[in-house]
Structure 1
Amino acid sequence: MIWMSRLHNCNRRSQTKMVPHLQRRKKMDDGIEEISTLITDAAMLLGENIRTVGLELIRSIASEKVIQESAQKSYLALCEVEGLTEDVRFRKLSKVPDHPMQMLIFFSLPSSVR
């Protein structure tokens, strides 16, 4: 009889040890699932940010192209002004990168007003 009670106690101990083990396993699975969700969310947010930066970069490149084209027009326009030396033309053109919007506004005006 004693050996039966010991066996019973041993079985009970092994069952109680098994339950916490399963609980730890479930907690680990929940933690892994939560980490997976966080990584997925972070990847999606990163993808959205990359798309946004890409669009801004495209706009910036297009704007830079317009500025370069306008700078070429500026040089041609300065060449038409009588009395300007080559040095004065280049000094005026060197100010273009500092004030590109002014140049864009200038070239958006009708040629008779410029």
Structure 2
Amino acid sequence: MKKFLILIFVFYKSLLGGSCYIPCNAYASQKSTEKQQDINQAYNTLDDKLENVEDKYKEYLKSLEKQNELLEKITKVRKLNSLKMKEINFILSKIIEDKSIKIDVETSKALKIFLDNNLKNIKEIK
């Protein structure tokens, strides 16, 4: 008899497909819907955050481009400044050379006059 009851029980279970076919299906369906909603909510949150990151990245790129433009301008100004300083140094060195030549010419003229006068005096004394 026990074997018969076990056989009927097993047969009954196989016909229903499980011990809690109807209640488990509803429960699983409810949980599946809840999980799907959780996943959708998490996805929407992630999507919003990704958009925020993308916006911040675009802002960063714009500021980086602006900084690069400013850096290029600074580089150009420094090159121009360096070139102008070289020109100024060259002009100043030429002016100094000209002045020193004039000074040397004036000094040599004064020395010549002095020597000429001294030579006249020496000749007069003799």
Q: TM-score, normalised by structure 1?
A: 0.69
Q: 1:12 aligns with which of 23, 37, 58?
A: 37
Aligned partner of 1:49 in structure 2 is 74
Aligned partner of 2:21 in structure 1 is none
Runs of at least 5 residues in structure 2 that lack an aligned partner in the other structure: 1-25, 112-126
Aligned partner of 2:93 in structure 1 is 68
Offset from partner CA, 1:40-59 (integer Å, 9 cap, x none): 11011010111111111111
Q: 1:39 aligns with which of 58, 64, 77?
A: 64
CA drift of 1:77 comes to 0.3
Offset from partner CA, 1:55-113 (integer Å, 9 cap, x none): 111111111101101111111100122447xxxxxxxxxxxxxxxxxxxxxxxxxxxxx
Partner Cα distance (2:105, 2:60) in 1: 67
Aligned length: 84
CA RMSD of aligned residues (A): 1.3
CA drift of 1:39 comes to 1.0
SS of the counterpart of 1:81?
Answer: helix
Point out 4+ residue stretches in structure 1 off by more than 3 angstroms: none
Partner Cα distance (1:26, 1:65) in 2: 58
Aligned partner of 1:2 in structure 2 is 27
Worse-matched range after superposition: 54-63 or 9-18 = 54-63
Runs of at least 5 residues in structure 1 that lack an aligned partner in the other structure: 85-114
SS of the counterpart of 1:17?
Answer: helix
Which AA in structure 2 matches 1:65?
F
CA drift of 1:10 comes to 0.8
Aligned pairs for 1:24-35 within 5 A: 24-35=49-60
Aligned partner of 1:22 in structure 2 is 47
Q: TM-score, normalised by structure 2?
A: 0.62
Which AA in structure 2 matches 1:23?
D
